[in-house]
Amino acid sequence: MKLRRWLYLIHRWLGIGICLLITIWFFSGVVMMYVGFPELTRSERFAGLPALEAESLRYGPEWLLREVPGESVIEELRLTPVLGRPAYVLRTGDGVWRGTFADTGRRFSSFDAADALQAAAAYAKAAAIESSGATYLRRLDMDQWSVSGSLHAHRPLHLLALNDASDTRLYVSSLTGEVVRDATASERAWNWLGANLHWIYPVQLRRHPTVWHWVVVVLSLAGLVSIVTGAVIGLMRIRLRRPYRGRDITPYRGSMKLHHLLGLCCLIPLATYMFSGLMSMNPWSIFSDEVPFSEHRAAYRGSPTVASALRQIESPAVLRDTLQIHPESRQIIWQWLDGRPYHYVVSGEGERRLLSGPRQDDDRLLHTDWEQLAVAQLRDLMTGNGISSIEQLDAYDSYYYSHHQRWRPLPVLRVQFDDPAGTWFHLDLESGELLNRLTIKGRWQRWLYYGLHSLDFGFLIDHRPAWDLVVITLCLAGFTFSATALTIAWRRLRRRPGHRCREALGLTTLTASRSR
């Protein structure tokens, strides 16, 4: 009897405490289906870059590398427009950004407000955005639209208004001079009803990632407990063989009756939705691998140092020839495989073209097929484990796919190992980059989070609007159910202290229920 009473009390007060949030989650989830959190998409980023001009390339990357300690590990090296001019941008393993303008050789390490205005003007011109001229707003560390962890490496940021028809805000890195985020007025408005509510994303909370993580985890757990206790009560109170009051299978009336019946009908999607939301936070690091992917990626690349790159990197003449052959190039990106450099170009449409395979120290191209070399390198870093299969993917499948504006290149090579973690690697066949690693834990997360929460099932996302109809229908059902909980909670909280109404929240006495 005491256990039953605690069951009712837990469900009642957890429900009262979290019903508004659950209602908001269902509503905001539908908004997020069509308006994502502001970001500079890959297509927007390359559209905002002017083409690199071969005749303006007077200095090579060695001009920059000579100023960096030789033992520094290269994390990123690219030739890209900065302030509308060609520049080499370097990030070393310690997270420090360095750069050199390729037309003048002037080095840079930070950018001020005037530079940010120039970057915004170059972006608007390249992207063909009609603007009356950018306005500098302020320098900031973080605001509501720049809370993402991907921007940490570029802080502090410069915020500018582009003064265009979409009322776009641009965020410019103070370290590289590049536009790293845009946010239109429409995106900002809709996200107050979308991601900011759904992810509990106020900037005041997101400034403290650990606190934010545990707030979401605790609230998700509270919602899950509320659903489970409600399910137990709902099943206990349902009568199929001995109905209440004539043919009624529930003892409740009005909003309580609707809450009872809707809760049982929506039980599975409610529970899986709340559970998968919890899984999205990777609570207690249950999906984290023992070896971080960054370590595997570094081993695959061979941890290239500045000293080794200086012996192997292309000369300005070679790069000028490259740009003359590929006049639409927006970037030249250097990559490494087992310490050997190679490079590829990216066009304004984001298409990648591999220009050379990995080189030896004497600058001769390796004659070995680079795909074979890449697989051999993966085999070396997974020493003691064999390859179970190698498969080329020319189309997306259940574990490698694109949805929610997530860019994933094709074709890729999937290399599967027979190690205890069940490791899969995906290699970009256009650029040679090691894209990701997927272990058994990662594949479980794919289904427990993306599958259950976003319904990322191939038979739905490949046949839209089937996905839209199913998700909206389930969200509408969840919203209606949560609205009944709101009504019950409001009535309960409005009652005078000491006044009891057990029927209002499912606390009808056993004797009353048995007498009917």
Residue 364 is predicted with a pLDDT of 40
Residue 508 is predicted with a pLDDT of 41
Phi, psi of 230 (to 5 degrees): -65, -35
Q: Consecutive 10-residue runs of the chain (516 residues): their mean pLDDT? A: 87 94 96 95 94 95 94 95 97 94 94 97 96 96 96 97 97 98 97 96 96 97 96 91 84 92 94 96 95 93 91 89 93 92 90 72 48 91 94 95 88 96 95 94 96 95 94 96 94 70 42 37
Residue 3 is predicted with a pLDDT of 86
Strand partners, 76: 91
pTM of the complete model: 0.90
210 exposure class (CB count in 10 Å sphere: 0-12, 13-18, 19+): exposed
Residue 498 is predicted with a pLDDT of 53
- Condensed to tens digits (0 to 9), the pLDDT of residues 439-482 reads 999 999 999 999 999 999 999 999 999 999 999 999 999 999 99
Residue 349 is predicted with a pLDDT of 86
DSSP labels, 224-274: HHHHHHHHHHHHHH--SSS-BTTTBSSS--HHHHHHHHHHHHTHHHHHHHH
Nearest by Cα to 39 from 121, 147, 111: 147
Residue 370 is predicted with a pLDDT of 76
- Pairwise CA distance, residues 189 & 166, whole Å: 12
The full 3-state SS of 164-215, as one line of letters, equals ECCCCEEEEECCCCCEEEEECHHHHHHHCCCHHHHCCCCHHHHCCHHHHHHH
- Pairwise CA distance, residues 327 & 473, whole Å: 49
Residue 512 is predicted with a pLDDT of 37
Residue 501 is predicted with a pLDDT of 45
- Pairwise CA distance, residues 229 & 361, whole Å: 66
- Pairwise CA distance, residues 251 & 263, whole Å: 14
The token pair at 88 is 């080499």
Go through the chain and tell me how many residues it has: 516
The token pair at 182 is 């845009």
Nearest by Cα to 184 from 205, 163, 215, 198: 163
